[in-house]
Amino acid sequence: MEKIIKSELEPHIQKLIDDLVIKYGPIAIVLIGLFLIIVIITWDILKNKIRGEVKKGVDKHKAEIDNTYTKQIEHYRLYVAKQHKAYAKLNKYLLKTEGLAVFQALKTYPDFTEYTETEISKYLKERNASENELKQFISLMGDSKALQKEMQNYTELFNVRKARVFFHKTKNHYWINALYFSNKIEEQFKDITKILNEMIIIREIPSNDNKLTKEDMQTLRSLQKNLQSSIDKIVKQMKEELSAGLAK
């Protein structure tokens, strides 16, 4: 019975399916086609967007690299410029301090006995003499030997003080700009400051009653020779480093 019913229904079912395919098949094909088109378009949009984002990220990273490189170049140029300035100023300070610290055995002084009171006052004021010191020197104008001696002593003391001031300026400049100096320059600079300090101390505190002895003078000449050699050496080293673009 079931077989009979099934055999009778099958043609009807098949016909119904065929009718549906004929009736709705084109629509289904169109819908499937539209779906595929939408999928393709969507994928193409996503693909282009992904490519755009990737390119944007790459361009941004490249720009950051370029910017970093540009900054590094600029920092290096600034460093080199400051280094040249620091080296040049150190050289200037060293030569100035050397000139002030060097002892001259045959140093000559003006004949203060021929100075007027106005000339003596002007000379001493240019060397930072106080009002009390001015009065003391003026009071010696009746004693030519005492005046000449005291004026020479004061001039020598002023020169030593000036050397000490420049000595400290030189050291301050070095340590403020230590970043720009090489290890070799540091070692040579320490040797120079040691020599300069010894020279200035001898001139500040002579061995015999505020007078330089023969031993003091011999020591100063020896130190002067070492100082000139050391300064020549550090100047040569600075020139070599700057010309090679090296430091540290």
The average confidence (pLDDT) of the chain is 78
In the DSSP assignment, the letter for residue 129 is -
pTM of this structure: 0.60
CA 190 to chain centre: 20
Q: How far is CA 233 from CA 12, 22, 63, 206, in A?
A: 116, 105, 46, 29
CA 244 to chain centre: 17
What's residue 105's pLDDT?
44
Q: Which two tokens stand for residue 153?
A: 């002593």
Q: Which two tokens stand for residue 115?
A: 């100075």
pLDDT tens digits, 141-186? 888 888 888 888 888 888 888 888 888 888 999 999 998 899 999 9
Comparing 5 with 172, the larger pLDDT belongs to 172
pLDDT tens digits, 225-247? 898 899 999 989 988 888 876 54
Angle (nearest 5°) at CA 169 between 166 and 171: 110
Q: Which two tokens stand for residue 144?
A: 């030519």
> In DSSP terms, which residues pair with 211 in a beta bridge?
208
Residue % of the chain over a pLDDT of 90: 10
Residue 99: is its pLDDT beyond 80? no
Taking a C-beta distance cutoff of 8 angstroms, is the pair 236, 230 a contact? no
| Mean of pLDDT values over 96-108 | 65
Helix 183-204 vs helix 214-244: crossing angle, to nearest 10: 160
Angle (nearest 5°) at CA 128 between 124 and 134: 45
- 202's CB contacts (< 8 A; 6+ apart) are 103, 212, 216, 219, 220, 223
Nearest residue to 115 via CA among 88, 87, 93, 134:
134
